[in-house]
Amino acid sequence: MTGTAQRDEDCQAHRVDADGEGVNGPRAHGAANIAGGEAIPEHQSRVRRSYDAVTDAYTERVHDELRHKRLDRALLTAFAEQLRDQFGPQASVCDAGCGPGHVAAFLADLGVAVTGIDLSPAMVDRARALHPELTFEVGTMTALEAAAGRWKGLIAFYSIIHLTSDAEIRAALREFHRTVVDRGLLLVAVHLGEFGEATVHADEMLGVGVDMDFRFFDAEWLVGEVTAAGFEVEARLVRAPYLDVEVQTTRAYLMARRVGGMET
């Protein structure tokens, strides 16, 4: 990776699409379509192509990773137990940016009904092949197709990291708020920046050529955005990376409850 810090203020080019709509609207347009004919911004097309290309290597790297990630398993278990206690067995959960579906499968084994959504058709194909009992769909978290209040819970594990403008992060949080039922739960995982926020460009991932950006977050900033979006943060965890298991970045996890807030 090579990179320079790049604040949202530097991303004006992405703010307004060809139809004059802001990227934070559910109909933000750009260069390409996803399932259902929805258009996505150009940089999301690059993310999609990148994950299509890296699907094999990424799946090889992560499909078994939760075995080594005790804190992640503990948080996912608490998330599923809370939803089951609150909403009953098979409470509906969206895994936004599900990749090859290993986190969705872990949650499903805990008795919740998971639908995985991912920008990358290759990832969705792989998730369906590996977990044929689960549902996976192509889509973007900045314009979810689900109806309002569709999910009892929503997780986004290392997927909002590719929404590199503040406006896009807010668009995704607005969609999470719209599609999660009142008092439902949100669980988000991100990488933290060593010196606050930064966006880093990658042209290679796991030995495969890619062309996409990664965002490294400031935890307090994200807490503020999640809160402003209409969630109450109930738990936060910052942990060091597990050696030999994952990229060596500090990780942050937020568990938050939908409490109303912004208009949807």
Ligand X SMILES: C[S@@+](CC[C@H](N)C(=O)[O-])C[C@H]1O[C@@H](n2cnc3c(N)ncnc32)[C@H](O)[C@@H]1O
Which residues bind to ligand X, rule: CB under 6 A? 44, 47, 51, 62, 96-99, 103, 117-120, 123, 140-142, 157-159, 162
- Residue 119 near residue 137 (C-beta atoms within 8 A): no
Cα 85 to Cα 58: distance, rounded to the nearest angstrom: 34
Whichever of 99 and 184 has its CB closer to ligand X, that residue is 99
Q: How far is CA 230 from CA 26, 32, 138, 166, 226, in A?
A: 17, 30, 26, 16, 7
Buried b (16+ CB within 10 A) or exposed e, 126-144: bbbebbeebebbbbbbbbb
Whichever of 231 and 253 has its CB closer to ligand X, that residue is 253
Residue 93 Cα to chain centre, angstroms: 13
CB of 141 to ligand X, least distance (A): 4
Cα 214 to Cα 134: distance, rounded to the nearest angstrom: 28
Cα 170 to Cα 172: distance, rounded to the nearest angstrom: 5
CB of 59 to ligand X, least distance (A): 9
Whichever of 110 and 232 has its CB closer to ligand X, that residue is 110
CB of 228 to ligand X, least distance (A): 20
Whichever of 156 and 183 has its CB closer to ligand X, that residue is 156
Whichever of 91 and 161 has its CB closer to ligand X, that residue is 161
- Give the residue closest to ligand X by C-beta: 99
CB of 103 to ligand X, least distance (A): 5
Whichever of 58 and 260 has its CB closer to ligand X, that residue is 58
CB of 154 to ligand X, least distance (A): 12
CB of 8 to ligand X, least distance (A): 16
Phi-psi group of 192: left, alpha or beta (phi > 0 → left; psi -120 to 50 → alpha; rest → beta):
beta
